[in-house]
Amino acid sequence: MAEQPRPPAPIDLSVYIADARLSISPPSVGAGPVILVVTNQASRTESLSITPAGSGSALALIGPISPQASAQMQVGLDSPGEYTIATAAAGNTDADLAGASRVVSARLHVGARRPSASGALLQP
């Protein structure tokens, strides 16, 4: 029986939400699993979506994230291309959900697939 190579090791991406804009670091990664570490420093609760460019459906949704709070989520970005990281108002009332987010979205470039983690030590 042949061994299957492990997927690439996950990479941490930092996402910072402010009242006017969203930033992501690093802005470019190779295809494979990523862990989004999100901090909401905006004055209102926000949710975060990850959408492939040219697609209307979100690949992942994170939130709601309260002001001054953080969240974490692992996402498989297996296809190279451009992704949009955007926020949307979040809450429990219709007024909360109807409010348009004022935060400018960010772009994430996903390049060629990263190498397998098969040869890496201390991997799960």
Q: Is there a domain that residue 117 lies in?
A: no
List the chain pLDDT tens, one digit each, 124 residues. 567 777 888 999 999 999 999 999 999 999 999 999 999 999 999 999 999 988 778 889 998 999 999 999 999 999 999 999 998 755 555 555 555 567 888 999 999 998 887 766 655 5
For 96, phi and psi rounded to 5 degrees? -60, -45
Residue 35's domain comprises 11-92+100-112
- Number of compact structural domains in the chain: 1
Q: Is there a domain that residue 119 lies in?
A: no
CATH number of residue 15's parent domain: 2.60.40.420
Distances (CA, A) of 2 to 5, 15, 54: 9, 39, 38
Strand 11-17 with 28-40, pairing: parallel
DSSP label of 21: B
pTM (2 d.p.): 0.81
